Amino acid sequence: MGGAYTVHAPGEVDFDSVGTPFDNADVRIDAPDDNGVGEIVVRTGGMFAGYYRNEEATRADVRNGWMHTGDAGYFKQENGHLVLILMIKPYGLFGTEKIERL
């Protein structure tokens, strides 16, 4: 995902979520469906600069300063916590070989 961008604040732990965005992180849900589920897209000062020696992959995942994580999720209405559902990208790059994501 290019760095941490959510946290469970003391007294606000929600075990169904990954927490709320850091104050210095912008997190949004792209193309949400009727239930608010879509791709998690982030922008933060701690975001990575790109994939090592792979400009094509960087351009595909970092667009207009936003990291497209390839993860599906939604924000809970009752507390603003981000819920990560699953990875929507079929493959990840590990070393020099592609592996199927679980």
DSSP per residue over 6-52, as a string?
EE--TT---TTS--EE-TTEEEEEES--TTS-EEEEEEETT-----T
pLDDT at 4 over 60: yes
Take residue 29 and report the two structure tokens written for it: 């849900």
Amino acid symbol at 23: D
What pLDDT is attached to residue 1? 43
pTM of the predicted model, to two decimals? 0.81
| DSSP secondary structure letter of residue 56 | H
Three-class secondary structure of residue 77 per DSSP: coil
What pLDDT is attached to residue 47? 83
For domain 6-100, is the CATH number 2.30.38.10?
yes
Q: How far apart are CA 70 and CA 41, in angstroms?
A: 8
What pLDDT is attached to residue 93? 47
pLDDT at 33 over 90: yes
What pLDDT is attached to residue 86? 81
